[in-house]
Amino acid sequence: MAKNVEDLFDEVPGDIPEEEIENATSVTKCPACGANMIFDSEKGKLYCEHCGTSKDIVSKSSEELDFERLLSEDNAWGAETHVFRCENCGAREVLDKREIAKTCPFCGTTNIVETDELPGIRPNAVVPFHIGKDAAAADVKQWARRRRLAPRKFRKSAKPDALKGVYMPSFSFDTSTESDYRAVLGKYYYRTKRVNGRVVHERYVRYFTVSGHYSMAFDDILVQAGGTIDQKSLNKLQPFDTNSSKEYTPEYLSGYTATQSVKNGLQCWEEAKDVVRSRLKAAILSGYSYDVVSSFDISTQCNNITYKYILLPVYVGHCNWRTKLYNFFVNGLNGKVTGKAPVSPLKVGGLVVLGIAVIVGLYFLFRAMNG
């Protein structure tokens, strides 16, 4: 029997055999000294901080899942993880059962409480962290120095506080499309005439209609499923090389956290379809010479839809500047940075004055050239 869509993503997992819970929540012990091991991003292995022993993670490449599985996924991640909520900013983190959240990576507060919320569906793929915290911090400092409108002291001294590795839940979609389209486009043309002894160029638009069929394939459209980083910021951090992602295993979460998903797969697919439509429009119009788009209608059929529910590696940090909090996000794979920085009122004011001066200068130059 078909299930209600809402129930598919909110249902409590059924009874799980005791031995499976034990395996899912067990700690990976160091074979040399018995201490807990963590995932070392630079080595790509489990690492013991006490004796330096390394251990490979047995994980194969992740697989694309058929879209129909979004209608039958059950919640099985709660057996090996639990959710903590920051009482200050509301961020929700998913941690391994054996770990406890001490500070919030988004605002730095210690007001963290465990909740009875479900973490969401279990990921089937992960892009492991590749760079370490020190390298990520260095990338943030370089990024801050390039913020030309930021105060000089900030650019020189900015550094992220308590940088923390956090996996961001996202859906990645593949599909092939067949589209029929019809558009009314316009091309500028000009007429020259003399008005009051002056030569005037008048602009007109000549419209024409185009239509046709267009085929296009899409690979790894990323849509964030969490609520702590917006889609715009995620786009700025790309690429994440999701084609090389690994099959998810709890060992990758050792020493890291993940943010809780707030959107299910079907909601993310609706957002992915908006991306598909936008890229199709751009690709189709690139084949024509035009200046104006009067109308554009398209009918698209998506075929062979597959997906991954994937964890993306992001270092999260914050910097306090004059009592205000600024967040930084670093791609844990390649060090790409995005975030917000303070703006110097003096620098902005100087740019405004300079802009006005340029406009005034161009105005007088135009008048002088036209007698």
Read out DSSP for 49-73?
TTT--EE-----B---EEGGGGGT-
Cα of first residue to Cα of last residue in the chain, in angstroms, is 82
Burial classification of residue 60, based on how many CB atoms lie within 10 Å of its CB (0-12 exposed, 13-18 middle, 19 or more buried): exposed
DSSP annotation of 291: S
- Is 11 strand, coil or helix? coil
Query: Per-residue pLDDT for 211 more than 70?
Result: yes
**pLDDT score, position 271:** 95
* 338-362 pLDDT, tens digit each: 988 777 666 666 666 777 877 877 7
**pLDDT score, position 275:** 96
- Is 299 strand, coil or helix? strand
User: Model confidence at 75, in pLDDT bands (50, 70, 90)?
Assistant: low
Give the residue, 116 or 307, on which the prediction is more confident: 307
* 249-287 pLDDT, tens digit each: 888 888 888 888 888 888 999 999 999 999 999 999 999
What tokens were used for 176? Answer: 């092939």
Mean pLDDT of 312-340: 86
Instruction: Please state, for a pLDDT cut of 90, what percent of the chain lies above it.
Output: 35
CA–CA separation, 281 vs 30, rounded Å?
54
Please give the angle made by the CA atoms of 300, 305 and 311, to the nearest 5 degrees: 125
DSSP annotation of 78: G
Q: Do 218 and 305 touch, CB atoms closer than 8 A?
A: no
Query: Per-residue pLDDT for 294 more than 80?
Result: yes
Please give the angle made by the CA atoms of 317, 169 and 85, to the nearest 5 degrees: 60
Q: Do 299 and 179 touch, CB atoms closer than 8 A?
A: yes
User: Model confidence at 154, in pLDDT bands (50, 70, 90)?
Assistant: confident
Q: Do 142 and 169 touch, CB atoms closer than 8 A?
A: no
Half-sphere exposure of 8 (CA within 13 A, CB side): 16
Mean pLDDT of 4-30: 40
Whose CA is closest to 141, among 131, 155, 128, 122?
Answer: 155
User: Model confidence at 3, in pLDDT bands (50, 70, 90)?
Assistant: very low
Give the residue, 360 or 68, on which the prediction is more confident: 68
pTM: 0.76
Q: Is 323 left (phi over 0), alpha (psi -120 to 50) or beta?
A: left
Burial classification of residue 47, based on how many CB atoms lie within 10 Å of its CB (0-12 exposed, 13-18 middle, 19 or more buried): buried
**pLDDT score, position 19:** 35
Of 43-57, 62-76, 113-127, 344-358, the least confident: 344-358
Query: Per-residue pLDDT for 204 more than 90?
Result: yes
Helix then strand then coil, % of the chain, to nearest 5:
25, 35, 35
What tokens were used for 334? Answer: 């390649």
CA–CA separation, 174 vs 181, rounded Å?
22
* 76-103 pLDDT, tens digit each: 676 777 788 888 888 888 877 667 777 8
